[in-house]
Amino acid sequence: MNFNINLENIKKRCGLLLGIFVFGGVTWGFYLASVPDITDLIESRSIVYFFWGSFFLLLMFPVGCCFVLAIAYVTFTKSMQPPRFFDRAFTIGIHIAGVGFVVGNILSFIVLFYPLGTNYVLCERSGPTSGTYYTRTEEICEQVKYLLKTKYSDIEKLNDTLDGKPKQQ
């Protein structure tokens, strides 16, 4: 038996595997950053932490998953050459990402003006690129401001207490 080890292919495969882990981590981070904000809003919780990019990040989750699967496909093929339709698939993925950016920002503006603007009180805004706390009443807002200064981790416990949810383990 004659084995021929091509180090260039091994380097390419390792680079592609690293790309899978990076894209996968970023995609999972998008999911973790967006879903709690949106579910708190849908459930009409007493305290809502809303980040303006949540809808955009949620819409990017499927695109990121497709990119991870495409890179995995190329990594594990024998020739490491993607089929011709992958060019079109990546182009479509980039266009979907652009549409997701536009639609996500429009949804964020709608959410800021309708549910958060009418049913909630603006409580605490750290900066332009960070999220904003909205509460049902001014009294809850005062409690949130106090917890932000003292013990940040108790905000979720306060929210569960106000909404009558059982304690999370």
Query: Average pLDDT, whole number, for the chain?
Result: 86
Output the pTM of the full model. 0.74
d(CA 58, CA 78): 34
- In a domain, residue 168? The reply is no
pLDDT in tens, 49-101: 888 889 988 888 888 888 888 888 888 888 888 888 888 888 888 898 899 89
- In a domain, residue 72? The reply is yes
Specify the number of domains making up the chain: 1
pLDDT in tens, 131-146: 888 999 999 999 999 9
Tokens of 79: 């020739």
- In a domain, residue 1? The reply is no
- In a domain, residue 2? The reply is no
The confidence score (pLDDT) of residue 26 equals 92
Contacts of 114 (CB under 8 A, 6+ apart): none
- Provide the domain limits for residue 92: 7-163
- What is the full DSSP assignment across 59-103? HHHHHHHHHHHHHHHHHTSSS----THHHHHHHHHHHHHHHHHHH
